[in-house]
A and B are shown apart, each in its own frame.
Chain A
Amino acid sequence: DTGVSQNPRHKITKRGQNVTFRCDPISEHNRLYWYRQTLGQGPEFLTYFQNEAQLEKSRLLSDRFSAERPKGSFSTLEIQRTEQGDSAMYLCASSFPRTSGGWDTGELFFGEGSRLTVL
C-alpha cells in the first residue's frame, strides 16, 4: 500500500442517477477527508472522519450527499439524484495526526481523485 486509493477514477452518469465513490486511505491513517475540486478552482472541504466518526461537515455537503466510514478503514461518498453542478473531481485524503494542541498537524496525503461528469 503506497498511497490513498480512489475508485472509480472517472464516472460518467446521467442527471438524476446515484453515484458512489470509494476511498481506501493509507492503512495506519485514522483521519480521512473528502474534498471537491472543480475546474480552475482549489479543493473545497466537504467532510472528515476520525476513525468511524464523522466529525465535521461543510455546508457544501447538501442532503443529497452522504459519506460513511463504517469500520474506520475505507470510506464511501454517495451522491443521490446527481445534478450537473455536481460535476467535479472528488478528492480523498488521509493523515496520521501529529497533534499540536489537539489539532491534526500531520501531513495530508491525497489520492488521485474520482472525476464525476453528470450529463
Chain B
Amino acid sequence: QKEVEQDPGPLSVPEGAIVSLNCTYSNSAFQYFMWYRQYSRKGPELLMYTYSSGNKEDGRFTAQVDKSSKYISLFIRDSQPSDSATYLCAMSDYGNNRLAFGKGNQVVVIP
C-alpha cells in the first residue's frame, strides 16, 4: 500500500461547478498537507498548505484535513477553464523534507 492514495481518474466539470478532490494516507506521522497544481509539461506549483487538522480557505480554494480519518480534501468553487490541470496532494511529517505525493487528478473544466 502506498503512503498516499489519490484516485487518479480524470474529472470533467462544467464551468462554474464545484470541484472536489481528495486523498487518503496511511502514515499517522504526517502533519503537513499540501495541494499542488501542475499544468501540462510544467512543474508543480503550490496551491494550499495546511498544518495539522482543520480547514483553510484562499479565494475559490478550500483545503480540509481530517487527521482522525487520514483524509484530506480540496474544493474549487466557481471553477474556470484556467483551473484545468492536474492536482496533486502531498504531505510530510517534517515540512518540506521528503514530500509524499499522490498520483494526481486531471481536472478539465469545460466552458
The residues of A with any CB-CB pair to B shorter than 8 Å are: 4, 31, 33, 35, 40-45, 48, 56, 58, 91, 93, 95, 97, 100, 103-113
Contact = CB atoms under 8 A, between A and B. Distances in A.
Given A33-B96, A107-B46, 17 more contacts: A4-B43, A41-B104, A42-B6, A42-B88, A43-B88, A44-B101, A45-B98, A45-B99, A48-B97, A56-B98, A95-B96, A103-B95, A105-B32, A105-B95, A106-B95, A107-B49, A112-B43
B5 to A, nearest CB: 11
Contact of B103 (A41, A100, A106): A41
Most chain A beta carbons < 10 A, residue from B43, B46, B94: B43
Interface of B: 4, 6, 8, 32, 41-46, 49, 51, 88, 90, 94-104
Contacts of A91: 43-44
A100 B8 contact: no
- Give the residue among A41, A43, A48 with the most B Cβ atoms within 10 A: A43
A41 to B, nearest CB: 6
Contacts of A111: 43
A113 B41 CA distance: 8
Contacts of A48: 97-98
Nearest to B94: A103
Contacts of B101: 42-44
Instruction: Indicate the member of B46, B95, B103 with the most A CB atoms within 10 Å.
Output: B95
Contacts of A33: 96
A98 B88 CA distance: 22
A4 B43 CA distance: 10
Contact of A108 (B41, B42, B46, B104): B46
A109 B43 CA distance: 9
A11 B32 CA distance: 34
Given A56-B97, A104-B97, A110 B88 contact: no
B96 A31 contact: yes
23 contacts: A31-B96, A41-B104, A42-B4, A42-B88, A43-B88, A43-B99, A45-B99, A91-B43, A100-B51, A103-B32, A103-B94, A103-B95, A103-B97, A104-B94, A104-B97, A105-B51, A105-B95, A105-B96, A106-B95, A106-B96, A108-B46, A109-B46, A113-B43
